[in-house]
Chain A
Amino acid sequence: MLRLAPKRRAQLWNVLVIVAVVVIAALNLYPVLQIVLVSLQPMSQALSKHIRLLPETITLANYAKILLKSDQFPRYFLNSMTIGLANMAVSTLISALGGYALARLRFPLRSVLDRVILFVYIIPPVMLIIPIYLVMINSGLNDQQIGVVLIHTLFSIPFGTWMLRGFFKNVPAELEDAARVDGTSRLGTLFRIVLPISLPGIASVALFSMLTSWDEFMYSGILLSTEAKRTLPFGVYTLVGTYGEVRWDEMMAASVLQALPMVIVFLWLQRYFVQGLSAGAVKG
């Protein structure tokens, strides 16, 4: 057997670990690579039985098809943006106020409310859709974008409140005290001192809310019945894949366009998203 000096052995071990992690990373990214490759090929080539490592011809025709053939995809894109922005505005404001109260102010029932927010994680979302659907039908809020916005805030607010509570707790209380001595009100210090310092937290909550709407399939699919009002997930799903064969070329082009904004934001804010989703279990 090969004998190596301890130092050489450690080096060899290091190299092996790095090779292993790179191989696993490549496997892990393979489905993503496939999406991109299929989106860049003519359908006939992507579906041929002939195996190639890299596509022979590269084309943007699939993107042109999905963007220009009809106005459906662009409209779903805009609908998702609208609902996402509305959710973002409502959720960020409500979460900031609630998070500040939980972080800084003493009021009756505070510790109970702390727990209630965690409890929301536990309730199955499919359990909530039945009564909400029935009420929205009876009140005429079904097939209205505002109804979907309200539902999406329900997923964003617990995350946001919990996340910002953690952020605000880390703002030194002395900063606030100093401003209050100068005569600034509580709310004044929130908006002038605490919020600006917690900017990464605010950005995370805002973009997480936006992406919640961007990704959400079930509620928007059930509540928005008019084709023109659909958001991206359900719209693209019905556009390319419900009846019979999937049109893979258009599906993958739509996938790339839909995934791109989300992937960029996740790469940017990954630490904070993990923090928020772990109910403050880790400090990122």
Chain B
Amino acid sequence: MRRLTLSQRDALLGLALISPVMIFVLVFVAWPFIDTIRTSFFNYNLLKPKQVGWIGLQNYITLFTTGNLIPMWIRTVLLAFSTIAGQLVVGLLIALMLNRPFVGRGIVRSSFVIPWALPTLVAAFAIRWLFDANFGPTNQVLSLFGLPFQGFPWLGRTDTAMPVVIMAHVWKGLGYVILLMLAGLQTIPTDLYEAARVDGANMWQEFRRITLPHLRYVISIAFVLRFIWTFNWFDFVFLTTSGGPSQSTMTLPVSVYITAFKSFNMGKAAAIATVMALTLMLFSVLFIRVAMQEETEI
């Protein structure tokens, strides 16, 4: 047998080493992805096994016309956008504050990591306790100031549930965004600020002309990754409100879960999931563009 050259042996070894990853991706991501799209064209209810059959776009038509897909889609995008907007603004502000040296800075920074580090279940029940109508500290503190909030059901009203859920999302992921921003801030050369000061720039000008342009890349990464993450995040919404009251916090992932595992309507659930994937495809284009930009910078 012909002996392989060194680079040929490296290529074979590379393929061998990467193949377990690829097998996992194919079996647990690529195949289910395609199969869910296929299922979305079927009438497929686990409780009615005899009626299973191809129905074309019927699931989508039902969802768009009689279902509440469009309000759910708007709600999910709104949740994701508001969460990211809140996290970016608050996160950047805190990161800027933490970027200057002071005694105990490490402890303060770590304290922001803790909510991010909590198990989702724990964070969700902390929020439910905090906003509990009868016993929650929020209402207790508010009535301490004489405000009429005794027994106010924050998570039980259609007008306050979503704002509380958004706030909870901002709080839960803030630590990650702060650390990301801090990492970005540390890459800015300090002599830029010194030069600006010599030229008489004020703090706003320094922020606008030096800090923000240097953080552009980190901010766009945080934006896209957090959008995808929040858009897909089932556990937190489900554990906090289960989509209620009267669907006012019903997001797309919670709806997929309830349609598939409470109503056992797999076809309809698959159609909702496919709409989710299509939405994220649009954002993935953005993601890849950012990733390629990094490649060219290096």
The judgment on whether A and B are partners is yes
Contact present for A267 and B117 (CB under 8 Å): yes
Contact present for B119 and A122 (CB under 8 Å): no
Contact present for B228 and A122 (CB under 8 Å): yes
**In the complex where A14-B102, A118-B291 touch, is A102 in contact with B18 (Cβ < 8 A)?**
yes
How many contacting A-B pairs (Cβ < 8 A)?
288
Beta-carbon contacts under 8 Å, B116-139 to A: 116-123, 125-130, 134-135, 137
Q: How many residues of A sit at the interface, in one of the four size bands?
A: 35 or more
Report which of A25, A38, A108 forms a contact with B129, defined as CB distance below 8 A: A38
Beta-carbon contacts under 8 Å, A77-134 to B: 94-95, 97-98, 100-102, 105-108, 110, 113, 115-134
Q: Please, how many angstroms separate the alpha-carbon atoms of A28 and B177 in the complex? A: 14
A198 at the interface (CB under 8 A from B): no
Beta-carbon contacts under 8 Å, A234-262 to B: 236-237, 241, 246, 248, 251-252, 255, 258-259, 262
Q: Please, how many angstroms separate the alpha-carbon atoms of A31 and B219 in the complex? A: 27
Q: Please, how many angstroms separate the alpha-carbon atoms of A246 and B136 in the complex? A: 12
B39 at the interface (CB under 8 A from A): yes
Contact present for B184 and A282 (CB under 8 Å): yes
Report which of B15, B36, B98 forms a contact with A107, defined as CB distance below 8 A: B15
Contact present for B125 and A122 (CB under 8 Å): no
A19 to nearest B CB, angstroms?
10
Question: Interface readout for B80-121 with A: 1 if CB under 8 Å, 0 if not?
Answer: 000000000000001001101010000010111111111111
A171 at the interface (CB under 8 A from B): no
Report which of A25, A29, A246, A283 forms a contact with B128, defined as CB distance below 8 A: A246
Q: How many residues of B sit at the interface, in one of the four size bands?
A: 35 or more
Which residues on A are within 8 Å of B, measured CB to CB? 14, 17-18, 20-22, 24-25, 28-32, 34-35, 38, 46-47, 49, 51, 94-95, 97-98, 100-102, 105-108, 110, 113, 115-134, 150-151, 153-154, 157-158, 161, 186-187, 214-218, 222, 232-233, 236-237, 241, 246, 248, 251-252, 255, 258-259, 262-263, 265-267, 270-271, 274-275, 277-284
The 5 closest A-B pairs by CB, nearest first: A266-B117, A107-B14, A105-B14, A98-B21, A101-B17
Which residues on B are within 8 Å of A, measured CB to CB? 7, 9-15, 17-18, 20-22, 24-25, 28-29, 31-33, 35-36, 39, 94, 97-98, 100, 102, 108, 110-123, 125-130, 134-135, 137, 140-141, 144, 171, 174-176, 179-180, 183-184, 187, 217-218, 221-222, 225, 228, 231-232, 234-235, 238-239, 253, 256-257, 260-261, 266, 269-270, 273-274, 276-277, 280-281, 283-284, 287-288, 291, 294
